[in-house]
Structure formats: structure tokens, C-alpha cells
Amino acid sequence: MLFGIRLIGYLGDANRLIELGVLAEKSGFDFCWFPHDPFMRNPWTLMAALAKLTNKIKLGVVGTNPYTTDLSEIATHMATLQELSAGRGVLGFGLHTEEMVRWLGYDASDIEGRLREGVSILRALFRGENAGYKGKFYKWSDECYLRFTPQTKTPIYVAGYSRSTHALSGELGDGSLPMLTPPDAADYVVRCVKEGAEKAGKRFDEIDIAGLCWASISESSKVAEETLKRMIAYFGPYLEAEALAKINLTPHDFDEIKKLVSRGYIDKAICLVNDSMLRLAIIGGAKELIEAVDKLRKVGISQISIGGPLGPDPEEAIQIVGKKVIPYFKENV
């Protein structure tokens, strides 16, 4: 079982996020992921900074997409990061919701076609090849190639938010980046990824399914719940309907919360986050996290990516995982 941490902007400024990334490496995490969301802190800058302060942890971006970042920029960002990090960079390519790019005027209804063509183009660029392409969405001339030699192969993890895009991640990706909100959706997601892998003639165990979970880790579960509610209020309205159904929720359950957040009334929105919505995340201490991770492992999740608020004290949360959870799986699994 691999362990990743996902550092979101709500945890603090850029310097704070880098401090937590350094602590994650010291605590034994395998991956450090940074979300690439509109109007949030830039993940490429953060990964470059963390690359120079770490030696082992892999550095991944979650949700770089073909609408807000041109493929040529994605390729040069990643190839440069590989030089800075000695080949530890990982690309998470895709979307977890169409709505945030819609804010910017993009229609993401063609995301599957763009992912399919985009992965092909990016792989050619990462191999140092000419990426001239004549497809439905991309028409690149023979002048499209990196003007420097990539140092290493870049793994591409595909992010999805529906049955078909999860399957596409299994078909196209070296890894898959599904949101496991709630964790109860893991079995559904894994089935989709398997279908895609089988379609491509790939072995399922070749794909790292990095399940992105929200977590609030503390030995005081009450405090952990309060810390989580702000995250649920902001992102809950954009979660996948089929996943929400696993805990008897629908996107419409977040309608009033979404309205309040859009008007700037975040505290009022937080008050509407109920106990059912808290089931979107893993809440508790080491014992609860071990139980949750083991369930995910048994259905086929190969990496747990712990994100969200982490806990009321993020350093304590990281250390709980490093001292109690990671060693448990290394010794017993």
C-alpha cells in the first residue's frame, strides 16, 4: 500500500504547504500531491520549491486539465520539474468536475476526447519525440516538440469524475486519480477502472489507483469533524452523483450550501453540513484510519491519498500517519 498526501490551499500559504511537504517525506509518505484548481495556489511553483528540499517523495499535480493549461505548457512544466526533482514528478491529468472550468467559459463536454488525444500527445513529448498531430481536438504541426531532451519518463495518472472517465483512466493511465468522497464509493470506482484496463488489454495490477480521500485525523474525533466542515461546504456541491449515492446523498442536498458559499456566507454554509455529509471523509485517529485504509486496500485501491484539512493540527495528523499507520501496513500487509 502506498501513501500520498494532498496539500490544499486551505492549509496555509505557500511556505506553509512546503513545510508540510517536507514533513510528509520525513514521515514516510510516498507521494505529495498538489491540486490544480482555478484561482488556487499554483501547483507547479509549489512542486518546484518542494523538489529542492526533498530527496525521495514523488511530486504530483492533481487535475491539470486540457482547458486551462495548454498541452505544450503541461509538457514543459513537467519536463522541467523532472530536472529539478531527479525524475520524481507525476502528472495527474483530467478533471474532477466540469463546473469549475465552466466558470471560465469552457465547455468540458468533450473531456474524454481531449484526454484521449492529450495523453497521446503528452507521451510523445515526454519521450522527446515530434508531437505533430492531426486529430479532432488537436491539430499540431511538425514544429511541436520539446527543445530540450526530457530526462525521464513521466507517469500519467488520469483523473475522472464519472463511470466513463474512471474507465478511461484505466484504459489510458499509468495510474488513476478518483475522488473517494465518500470512501464507500471505492468498489464502484475500482470496477470502472478495471473495465477500462481490460478494454486496453492491460493488467489491472499495472495501474496505481490513487484514491483521493478527505480526512480529518485527530485522536479527538469531535475536533476533527469541525475542521472538516469548511472543506465539505466548499467542494461538496461538485462531487460525483453516483459516488454520493453510496451514502444516500445527491448533489441537490448541497444546493443551499452552494448558494451560501457563492454569496460569501461560508459560516452559514458550514452550519448546514450535517452528519450524513461527514461520511464523505475519514474521521478519527490512527485506529479509524487503519480500518478505513484496509477496507480500501481490499477492494483494489493501491494508494491512499490523504487530503482535505488533514486534521485540526496538520503536523499531528501527518505524524500519526507516519508513526502508526504507515508502519502498520509495512509490517502487516
DSSP, residue by residue, 61-115:
EEEE-TTTS-HHHHHHHHHHHHHHHTS-EEEEEE-S-SHHHHTTT--GGGHHHHH
Length reported for the chain: 333
Backbone angles phi, psi at 112, to 5 degrees: -65, -40
Spell out the domains of the chain, with CATH numbers in brackets.
Answer: 2-214+284-332 (3.20.20.30)
pLDDT tens for the 333 residues of the chain, in order: 999 999 998 899 999 999 999 999 999 999 999 999 999 999 999 999 999 999 999 999 999 999 999 999 999 999 999 999 999 999 999 999 999 999 999 999 999 999 999 999 999 999 999 999 999 999 999 999 999 999 999 999 999 999 999 999 999 999 999 999 999 999 999 999 999 999 999 999 999 999 999 999 988 766 667 778 988 999 999 999 999 999 999 999 999 999 999 999 999 999 999 999 999 999 999 999 999 999 999 999 999 999 989 999 999 999 999 999 999 999 988
